[in-house]
Amino acid sequence: AGAALGAVAFFTSTARCFDVLSDPLMAQISDGFTSRFGRRRPFVLVGCGLYALCLVALCSPPWSMSPGNTGAWFGCFYILFFLTDTITSIPHNALGQEITSDTDQRRLVFMVAKIYQAFGMIAAAALPVLMGNLLGSCELPPECHGTQEEGHCVDLERKCDGIQSRRSILATGLIFAGVAVISGIACVSVIRERRSTGAGLLESELE
């Protein structure tokens, strides 16, 4: 059974409200963090893994749950999903501003990021439909191809549609989770942070 619409609406708005607090808090934590790996990259690396786990969990609630428990499952992992997104995206955005002091290069970095973000939004809308077609639908019994036992067949058809929807959503979640992990690892492997002076300034900003 699916989650109640009221629960979905409540947890969706709650998760967005958390961003008001979590975004500036994460920015402050990242600004003051120090390690031999930098102050941004550790959060990107850890955050992308947590992000992927929460996304997969969000897309795969257990079948045996009641509508109320499914709503609680959705709420829990939807909030965690946005919190892990904050852990990853806030340091990542700051890293994009710090890898170069050239205004034109910064503009190019964020333009490319926005282009990839747009492709991601298009893929998020199209992939569930594509995965549903690729994974196929479950087969109804022969008697449901006619007019007999119509009420029973309607229930079976609804259940079949639910199975297909869950499969396509889970497949989409797994794809996006994999992309998030690969992108995060690539980011921390390729990009090198400029050293901070400890007073919140980068070396090149003092020159």
Determine the Cα–Cα distance for residues 201 and 55; give it in Å rounded to an integer. 35
pLDDT value of position 24? 92
* Cβ contacts of 140 within 8 Å, gap of 6 or more: 153, 156, 157, 160
Determine the Cα–Cα distance for residues 2 and 128; give it in Å rounded to an integer. 17
Among 92-101, 131-140, 191-200, name the most confident range: 92-101
By the 8 A CB rule, do 44 and 187 touch?
Answer: yes
pLDDT value of position 152? 67
Q: What are 202's strand-pairing partners? A: 196
Predicted confidence band of residue 119 (pLDDT cuts 50, 70, 90): very high
Q: For 82-96, 110-124, 129-143, which range has the lowest pLDDT when averaged over its residues?
A: 129-143
CA-CA-CA-CA torsion sign (89, 46, 61, 65):
negative
CA-CA-CA-CA torsion sign (59, 63, 66, 67):
positive
Q: What is the pTM for the complete model shown?
A: 0.80
